[in-house]
Amino acid sequence: MLNIIVIHGRLTKEPELRMTQGGTPVASFTVAVDRDYKAEDGKRETDFVDCVAWRKGAEHIANHYRKGSEILLTGRLQSRDWTDKQGNKRKAWEIVVERTDFCGSRQDGGRDATSSGAYAPPSPQGEGFAGGFAELTDDDGDLPF
């Protein structure tokens, strides 16, 4: 089974960095994402997606992203159930962030394309890209494209 989500949008407010009781950093933030299509009035609708990042990813987001920053993130969709103060059962959906990349320019609240600011967790396989992929060499004559 597969649970991967990728979104591109802007932070609606400053990321909130907290520590769990055990000392683990966690950052919460919301990303505004425009839909692909325009409504009949010519305007695009926007979805507001709650996100959470843990450990070094949380610290990276809190240190490098601000309200209005453009962000490209990859993660997994997760639901949480709870009972509110009135006894009603509630459910929330959020993205658990696994990787972020800067988008936009510094003037837009982001970083420019020359910045090295992406965050991805270390690969368990060591060298190569996160997830165990390795970079291709110049000898790609066997590729069908």
Q: Is residue 145 part of a domain?
A: no
> Residues of the chain with pLDDT > 70: what percent?
72
Say what the pTM is.
0.70
- Model pLDDT for residues 9-27, shown as the tens digit of each residue: 999 999 999 999 999 999 9
The answer to whether residue 129 scores a pLDDT higher than 50 is no
Residues spanned by the domain of 42: 5-108
The answer to whether residue 144 scores a pLDDT higher than 70 is no
Per-residue b/e over 102-136, b at no fewer than 16 CB within 10 Å?
Answer: bbbeeeebbbeeeeeeebeeeeeeeeeeeeeeeee
* Res 140: pLDDT: 54
- Quote the CA–CA distance of 21 and 26 in Å, as a whole number: 11
Q: Is residue 123 part of a domain?
A: no
Q: Is residue 36 part of a domain?
A: yes
- Model pLDDT for residues 52-89, shown as the tens digit of each residue: 999 999 999 999 999 999 999 999 999 999 999 999 99
Here the CATH number for the domain that contains residue 85 is 2.40.50.140
